[in-house]
Amino acid sequence: MVPQPAPAGAPARSPGRHARTPVSAARRVGTTTAATGAAFGVIASGAFAAVIPTNVGGTTEADASPEVTKATMLASQSTPIASSASSADGSPSGYFSPVSFDSAPAATHQADTSHASDVDVASLDKAGKIAEKIAAEHEKAAVAAAKKAEARRELDKTIAAGGLDGWIAEALDHMGMSQSYATGLKRIILKESNGDPDAINNWDSNAAAGNPSEGLMQVIPSTFERYVHPDFASESPTDPVANITAGVRYMVDKYGIDTLASGGRSSSSGGYLGY
């Protein structure tokens, strides 16, 4: 470039020194970055790194030149820098390359997320089924409890009404036995005493021996004392509920529970034989 004469009125420059060209924006960037990078003059631009050679004094060649052009900056920015990293095959790659963002992890993450979502859905489905099963069991238990409560109410009504059915119901309930035995037990009582709690047999062998059969189930005094439920031990043999407990406990002990269920012993022709 041919030096231009100084404009009129401009201060004279010292002989032997070059006029300083105003620092461009590009130079200011390079100079600032070079200062930060000490004497190495490394300039980062985008994904590339550029090196501006520096003098021993710390000034760049751009400082020593009249002007750094855009072409110079572009050339410096495209200068490859040897890399200490290794390539995929183990050899030095030789250059730094622009940062590459691999989309594979994102895809993998998406797949993992999808898989996790599937697992979550399956877990929720399983939890839902378990909840439904528990709810069904609770409903079943509630229905059973409701039926039991209703049966209890009906039993209490029967007991409260008294009479033969009431005495039978109370005796079975007190002994903790199923009310399903009521039918067979009623048949036995009707055959033994016709349902009269004060009935006394004065004509059979027991009566002749001085031990007449008494009450609904026609038990002799010694049998009553031995088999009556302890809660009724102080009652007389003719007490309806006490008498039933003594007769039932004796029958089950001697003939088994099936005899009670079948309504007493029967002959081959089906006739009643007592207990």
Does one domain contain both 70 and 171? Answer: no
Domain boundary among 54, 77, 100: 77
Single-letter amino acid, residue 219: V
Whether pTM exceeds 0.85 = no
Instruction: Provide the domain limits for residue 52.
Output: 25-77
Strands 265-266 and 272-274: antiparallel
Domain boundary among 61, 77, 93: 77
* Residue 114 placed within a domain: no
* Residue 248 placed within a domain: yes
Does one domain contain both 170 and 268? Answer: yes
Residue 53 φ/ψ, nearest 5 degrees: -55, 140
Tokens found for residue 128: 């839902």
**Collapsed DSSP state (helix, strand, coil) of residue 117:** helix
**Collapsed DSSP state (helix, strand, coil) of residue 158:** helix
Return the CATH number at 241: 1.10.530
Domain boundary among 77, 100, 118: 77
Alpha-carbon distances, residue 214 vs 151, 171, 249, 253 (angstroms)? 32, 17, 16, 19
Range from 16-20, 97-101, 113-117, 143-147 carrying the lowest mean pLDDT: 16-20
Tens digit of pLDDT for each residue in 127-161? 888 999 999 999 999 999 999 999 999 999 999 99
Q: Give the count of domains, the chain.
A: 2
Tens digit of pLDDT for each residue in 246-270? 999 999 999 999 999 999 999 988 8
pLDDT at 243 exceeding the cut of 50 = yes
* Residue 216 placed within a domain: yes
Q: What is the mean pLDDT of the chain?
A: 75
* Residue 246 placed within a domain: yes
CA angle 206, 171, 140 (to 5 degrees): 150
pLDDT at 102 exceeding the cut of 70 = no
* Residue 157 placed within a domain: no
Sign of the CA dihedral with 187 first, then 190, 195, and 197 last: negative
3 DSSP assignment: P
Q: What is the pLDDT of residue 232?
A: 97
Mean pLDDT across 9-23: 46
- Give the max Cα distance, the chain: 168
* Residue 91 placed within a domain: no
Query: How large a percentage of the chain has pLDDT more than 70?
Result: 57
* Residue 176 placed within a domain: yes
**Do residues 217 and 243 touch, judged by C-beta distance below 8 A?**
yes
* Residue 196 placed within a domain: yes
